[in-house]
């Protein structure tokens, strides 16, 4: 009877030690998983460390391989070379002249000649942008450069200016048109220049004022020397409308992951007489086009928008 009791006691002790060993191993195993963050890698790796997750590719590419430009007379180099004529070779966006060093040349070098396209049209307004986007998209560019809106404010009267609501709708339509064809193309949007600043600079030149009478931006440049209350109100109304347009450009662009603006840099740039056409003292000269190219290149190649 006593022998069987001793044997039973020894069996119970062995079972207790076995259970304790199993429990200890389980606890150590759980602690080991937590120690490497729940990802210990492949079985048998022996590293005991989690593998880092791959970094997502950046949405904005600072070195696109092709450029298409859309917009108005500024992007066509109007009045930069000869009076009342386009001069696309000095365009800030796609021009080929060395003294401009356009955005395309800065990005693409010698390849700019065959890897950039200019679909801007002198006199174009925001309502025309969707059609230009369609033509630009046919080249499948990696970057679309946009500068448009000055002609929406440069009308015969302030009441004829494009409304802010219509301007927004037309820009949204243009962006949707591009995205339907090129969902991953990048878009750079330049702000509209300060038209009142251009008036204040150009009005000191008698030749410029004579050219203005031919119909260049009458809402701002008409009766260039008039400083009465009505003229001041008219110019201030145009100035405010341009600021409203620029806010639309910023807000609509901000909704698109592959769109960035210049942050208002073109509007803030203080064009001097050297940066204005010596034909009309309103459009950018060759020097002014080069300054626009600098602004665009800084915006496109910035590490973050």
221-258 pLDDT tens trace: 999 999 999 999 999 999 999 999 999 999 999 999 99
Rounded to the nearest integer, the mean pLDDT of the chain is 86
- What is the per-residue pLDDT for 208? 85
CA distances from 104 to 32, 64, 73, 107, 192 (A): 56, 9, 18, 5, 20
Judge whether 167 lies within some domain. yes
- Mean pLDDT of all residues in 202-226: 92
- Mean pLDDT of all residues in 265-282: 95
107-138 burial: b if 16+ Cβ within 10 Å, else e:
bbeeebeebbbbbbbbebbbbbbbebbbebbe
Judge whether 61 lies within some domain. no
Higher pLDDT, 29 or 106: 106
Residues 175 and 203 in one domain: yes
- Mean pLDDT of all residues in 139-160: 98
Residues 133 and 204 in one domain: yes
Regarding pTM above 0.85, the answer is no
Lowest mean pLDDT among 20-29, 97-106, 126-135, 294-303: 20-29
Query: Quick one: pLDDT band at residue 35, thresholds 50, 70, 90?
Result: very low
In the chain, the percentage of residues whose pLDDT exceeds 70 is: 81
Judge whether 289 lies within some domain. yes
- What is the per-residue pLDDT for 59? 87
Helix, strand, coil share of the chain (percent; to 5): 50, 5, 40
- What is the per-residue pLDDT for 39? 30
The encoded tokens of residue 222 equal 């008409």
Query: Quick one: pLDDT band at residue 52, thresholds 50, 70, 90?
Result: low
Lowest mean pLDDT among 13-17, 82-86, 138-142: 13-17
Q: Which residue in 191, 177, 103 sits closest to 147, CA to CA? A: 191
Judge whether 62 lies within some domain. no
**Residue-wise pLDDT tens digits, 70-125:** 999 999 999 999 989 999 999 999 999 999 999 999 999 999 999 999 999 999 99
Query: Quick one: pLDDT band at residue 261, thresholds 50, 70, 90?
Result: very high
Judge whether 281 lies within some domain. yes
- Are 121 and 76 in contact by the 8 Å Cβ rule? The answer is yes
Query: Quick one: pLDDT band at residue 136, thresholds 50, 70, 90?
Result: very high
Residues 10 and 115 in one domain: no
Residues 215 and 292 in one domain: yes
- What is the per-residue pLDDT for 304? 76
Residues 44 and 78 in one domain: no
CA distances from 28 to 21, 25, 240, 297 (A): 11, 5, 70, 58
Judge whether 177 lies within some domain. yes
CATH number at residue 188: 3.40.50.1110
- What is the per-residue pLDDT for 51? 58
Question: How many domains are there within the chain?
Answer: 2
The encoded tokens of residue 201 equal 């600079």
Residues 180 and 202 in one domain: yes
Residues 16 and 163 in one domain: no
Q: The domain containing residue 36 runs over which residues?
A: 1-55
Residues 175 and 284 in one domain: yes
Residues 12 and 158 in one domain: no
- Mean pLDDT of all residues in 47-69: 74
Residues 86 and 24 in one domain: no
Residues 227 and 142 in one domain: yes
Query: Quick one: pLDDT band at residue 150, thresholds 50, 70, 90?
Result: very high
Q: Which residue in 85, 281, 288 sits closest to 190, CA to CA? A: 288
Judge whether 237 lies within some domain. yes
Judge whether 31 lies within some domain. yes
Residues 240 and 173 in one domain: yes
């Amino acid at each position: 009877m006593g022998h069987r009791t001793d044997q039973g006691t020894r069996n119970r002790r062995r079972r207790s030690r076995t259970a304790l060993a199993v429990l200890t191993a389980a606890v150590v195993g759980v602690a080991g998983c937590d120690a490497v963050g729940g990802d210990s890698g492949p079985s048998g790796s022996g590293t005991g460390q989690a593998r880092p997750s791959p970094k997502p590719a950046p949405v904005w590419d600072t070195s696109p391989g092709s450029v298409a430009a859309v917009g108005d007379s500024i992007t066509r180099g109007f009045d930069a070379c000869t009076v009342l004529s386009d001069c696309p070779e000095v365009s800030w966006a796609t021009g080929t002249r060395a003294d401009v060093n356009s955005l395309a040349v800065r990005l693409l070098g010698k390849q700019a000649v065959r890897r950039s396209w200019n679909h801007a049209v002198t006199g174009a307004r925001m309502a025309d942008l969707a059609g230009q986007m369609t033509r630009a998209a046919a080249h499948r560019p990696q970057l679309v450069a946009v500068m448009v809106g000055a002609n929406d404010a440069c009308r015969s009267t302030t009441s004829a200016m494009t409304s802010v609501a219509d301007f927004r709708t037309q820009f949204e339509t243009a962006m949707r048109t591009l995205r339907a064809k090129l969902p991953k193309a990048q878009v750079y949007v330049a702000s509209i220049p300060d038209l009142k600043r251009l008036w204040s600079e150009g009005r000191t030149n008698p030749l410029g004022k004579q050219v203005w009478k031919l119909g260049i931006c009458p809402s701002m440049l008409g009766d260039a020397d008039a400083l009465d209350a009505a003229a001041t109100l008219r110019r201030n109304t145009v100035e405010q409308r341009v600021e409203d347009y620029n806010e639309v450009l910023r807000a609509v662009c901000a909704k698109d992951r592959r769109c960035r603006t210049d942050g208002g840099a073109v509007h803030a740039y203080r064009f001097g007489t050297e940066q204005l056409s010596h034909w009309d003292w309103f459009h950018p000269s060759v020097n002014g086009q080069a300054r626009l190219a600098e602004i665009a290149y800084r915006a496109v190649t910035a590490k973050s928008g």
